[in-house]
């Protein structure tokens, strides 16, 4: 059902002026969110609000610079990981508090994608909780995914109802994986958030095969590394990257109001709106 709604939305976006499309999307979300049961689904997120004030968190992405560090030094830190990070050899030492997954999309194959999620369930530490998009609830129930883990859902949309962060209401849909984690850490009110391996410099190798920190054979998803899908066309790629950086800027403004410091520890990153440092310096300090 939701995938059909997304297709209709993309069609309307091509046909309508931007301001009219946003008003229609905002109105739809308001009336879809409340009666559909999604409001009840995300109410449990209230227990995450401000729970880790004054602590620090490490957001772990999966860009190639991940290989520049020995990650075992994160053993006693509050870590939050995403996607294929569960393939890292030190995943059990790092022991993430939460692991995040974005929804299934083509050209991935659904049954194969479900197998990938089940393999992640086996690899992740037993006490790691899971955070998913609201669209996953039906699939979690149907395929009995993550049966022994705590699962939290985020209602994510291009038309958030509030211009701030409240996980009990529709949230801004992320343009890239780390942007799914960052608002959650701000909502938990970590006073220091460190971005690791958020390189965001893939445009410098536009059209080439993606480099990953793991052996491609470890990723059982078919078509996951299909560069013909990943690089559709240069205009699309440039617009997507622009929106990625705009979303980071959006969250930085919210974090600044809460006196939350966000520091980018990815030395090769193009993400220069945050203060830069390096992992060893932070941990030694």
Average pLDDT over residues 51-71: 85
Whether residue 8 is contained in a domain is answered as no
DSSP class of residue 42 equals: H
Whether residue 15 is contained in a domain is answered as no
Whether residue 56 is contained in a domain is answered as yes
Whether residue 31 is contained in a domain is answered as no
Q: Is the pTM of this model over 0.75?
A: yes
Whether residue 26 is contained in a domain is answered as no
Average pLDDT over residues 252-258: 95
Confidence of residue 47 (pLDDT cuts 50, 70, 90): very high
Q: Supply the CATH number for residue 269's domain.
A: 3.90.1480
- pLDDT surpassing 50 at residue 1: no
pLDDT in tens, 146-158: 999 999 999 988 7
Q: What is the pLDDT of residue 225?
A: 60
Whether residue 30 is contained in a domain is answered as no
Phi-psi group of 98: left, alpha or beta (phi > 0 → left; psi -120 to 50 → alpha; rest → beta): beta
Average pLDDT over residues 189-195: 97
Domain span at 164: 37-284
- pLDDT surpassing 50 at residue 216: yes
Whether residue 20 is contained in a domain is answered as no
Q: Which of 69-83, 182-196, 204-218 has the highest mean pLDDT?
A: 182-196
Higher pLDDT, 44 or 161: 44
Q: What is the pLDDT of residue 170?
A: 87
Higher pLDDT, 261 or 281: 261
Paired tokens of 264: 């980018």
- pLDDT surpassing 80 at residue 252: yes
Exposed / middle / buried, residue 33 (Cβ in 10 Å: 0-12, 13-18, 19+): buried
Please compute, for residue 262, the number of CA atoms within 13 A of its CA located in the half-sphere on the CB side. 27
Q: How many separate domains does the chain show?
A: 1
Q: What is the pLDDT of residue 35?
A: 66
Whether residue 146 is contained in a domain is answered as yes
Task: Share the mean pLDDT of the chain.
Answer: 85
Q: What is the pLDDT of residue 267?
A: 83
Higher pLDDT, 232 or 110: 110
* Cis ω for the linkage preceding 98 (within 30 of 0): no
């Amino acid at each position: 059902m939701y995938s059909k709604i997304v297709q209709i939305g993309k069609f309307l976006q091509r046909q309508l002026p931007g301001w009219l499309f946003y008003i229609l999307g905002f109105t739809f979300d308001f009336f879809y969110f409340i009666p559909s049961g999604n409001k009840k689904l995300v109410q449990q997120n209230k227990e995450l609000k401000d729970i880790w004030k004054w602590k620090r968190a490490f957001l772990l992405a999966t860009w190639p610079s991940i290989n520049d560090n020995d990650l075992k030094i994160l053993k006693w830190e509050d870590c939050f990981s995403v996607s294929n990070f569960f393939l890292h050899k030190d995943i059990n030492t790092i022991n993430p508090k939460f692991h995040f997954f974005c929804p299934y999309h083509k050209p991935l194959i659904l049954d194969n994608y479900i197998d990938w999620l089940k393999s992640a369930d086996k690899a992740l530490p037993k006490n790691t909780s899971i955070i998913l998009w609201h669209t996953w609830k039906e699939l979690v129930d149907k395929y009995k995914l993550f049966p022994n883990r705590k699962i939290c859902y985020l209602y994510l949309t291009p038309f958030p109802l509030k211009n701030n962060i409240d996980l009990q209401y529709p949230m801004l849909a992320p343009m890239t994986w780390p942007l799914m984690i960052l608002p959650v850490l701000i909502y938990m009110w970590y006073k220091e958030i460190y971005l690791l391996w958020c390189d965001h410099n893939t445009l410098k190798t536009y059209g080439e095969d993606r480099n990953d920190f793991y052996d491609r054979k470890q990723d059982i998803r078919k078509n996951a590394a299909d560069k013909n899908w990943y690089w559709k066309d240069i205009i699309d790629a440039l617009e997507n990257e622009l929106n990625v950086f705009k979303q980071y800027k959006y969250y930085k403004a919210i974090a600044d109001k809460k006196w939350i410091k966000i520091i980018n520890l990815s030395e090769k990153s193009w993400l220069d709106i945050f203060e830069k440092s390096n992992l060893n310096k932070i941990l030694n300090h």
